[in-house]
Amino acid sequence: MAGTEMENAGMFWDLSAYQTEGAWDKDGKGLSIWDVFTHRKGKVVRNETGDSACDGYYKLLKELKVNHYLLSISWPRIMPTAEQLNEKGIQFYNDTINSLLENNITPIVSLYHWDLPQVLQEKYGGWQNISMINYFNDYANLCFEKFGDRVKHWITFSNPWAVAEKGYETGEHAPGLRLGGCGAYKAAHHIIKTHAKVWHSYNNTWRREQRGMVGISLTSGWGEPVDPHSQTDRDAAERYIQFHLGWFANPIYRGDYPEVMKNYVGNAQQGLGTSRLPTFSVQEKTYIKGTSDFLGIGHFTTRYVLQKNFPFLQVSSYHTDRDLAELVDPNWPAPGPKWLYSVPWGFRRLLNFVKTQYGNPLIYVTENGVSETVQCPQLCDEWRIQYLKGYINEILKALNDGVNVKGYTAWSLLDKFEWNKGFSERFGLYHIDFKNKNKPRYPKASVDYYKKIISANGFPNPREVMSAAKFDLFFFLFL
């Protein structure tokens, strides 16, 4: 097969509003749940916040010759009370979108990367309440109205798994609630129904005129059975994926929660009459199924999985419901935090799982990257280059398998605020000196490597990677 050239290749960066915009209390912006959460002592490493911005990135995007850019809109910046409009916030995003287009960069917009208006958390309990569906739909329609003439790719939710599990089960993320056993399932249920309503709103009101697409971005690891010959391990690995990716993807592509979730959450009831996993009505199943024009996939790492039975009397939780244990191979490279091991082959298997389970949908890889917890000497992040090389090569193989991947996003352009980890984990291709008030940025070695991928429309040295056929792939980057 011929080389590793990428036909019509483009690069995508992705921006999460809270992580990069700053100006948390300026120009009429309302409070988000993350503004409140990060100002509580002890919630974030070193009590750091995302109050200040990582601005001035257009020049970097142009230098890298990026032609697609994935950004998120801050709901409370344009609707500070979730009802009134903030014209300055709308102007901010109009200026951002127009600046991108003037620089020949196509905007792709996520409506929700975790910054819920604080007023909705206080009044309704956030995603625990069904009222969020109509509030979010009004917000989405406002965005379609104001920006849809120029934005043709919309993502409803970015990584809703983290919103539900970390926000309402473990409390590691905003709003910091620990509603073990029920909170995550309830939040996810409302998010899925909200996504479907927004898709239908666009389909019925805006699609004919604007001719855009609406999808969702789901982040998941891959689970590999410890013993591939063991049925119990294979079943445990299946649960790992279904409780993570399938939780959201199965209703959208197949009309209901995975059977294994319904069985295991139901069986964990300890005598209760109803399942802690909410149910969809027949009408809701029909309404939700098929509500995605593309699927965003975020992926960072892999785990080995085996069966583990938890004590019957143990307090129920999302994690014990799965009846599994996660292991890692000590030989897997782990240059940064303990959770992120470089296991490229897991990516190909995850992509093929999506192809098989969900009818080979159009896929954009919306998050993929590796961090460091200490500054790399002389900004030489050779391990990040190896990570990118390995994971992109597995996408190449997946394309040869017939997986319908059209875009790839490297996380991330700049070092930035990483949620409850603050600035302690650095995913950026550019190093930021956060101790300097001007926040100067310096390119790491991976910047030059990524530039070469763009200019070569493929790997700079095809002999370094698995031979593959030509393919059509846009490259994004997450800011």
Question: Catalytic residue positions?
Answer: 367
Distance CA 291, CA 383 (A): 38
Cβ neighbours of residue 170 under 8 Å, at least 6 residues apart? 178
8 A C-beta contact, residue 151 and residue 110: no
How far apart, in Å, are the Cα atoms of 458 and each of 6, 20, 115, 403, 455? 5, 29, 36, 18, 8
* SS3 (DSSP) at 11: strand
Residue 11 neighbours by CB distance under 10 Å = 25
Distance CA 331, CA 325 (A): 19
The H or E element containing residue 208 is: helix 207-210
CA 46 to centroid of chain Cα atoms? 25
Distance CA 444, CA 451 (A): 12
DSSP H stretches of helix in 359-473:
382-400, 445-455
Torsion of CA 202, 204, 208, 214, to 10 degrees: 30
Distance CA 473, CA 398 (A): 12
* SS3 (DSSP) at 154: strand
Among residues 133, 318, 313, the alpha carbon closest in space to that of 240 is found at 318
Cβ neighbours of residue 332 under 8 Å, at least 6 residues apart? 341, 342, 343
Cβ neighbours of residue 231 under 8 Å, at least 6 residues apart? none
Torsion of CA 462, 463, 466, 470, to 10 degrees: 30
Question: Rounded to 5 degrees, what angle do the CA atoms 192, 427, 16 make?
Answer: 40
Structure tokens at 186: 């309830």
CA atoms within 13 A on the CB side of 131: 11
Here the contacts of 25-29 (C-beta below 8 Å, separation 24 or greater) are 27/86, 27/88, 27/89, 27/92, 28/80, 28/86, 28/87, 28/88, 28/89, 29/74, 29/76, 29/77, 29/80, 29/86, 29/89
Residue 359 neighbours by CB distance under 10 Å = 11
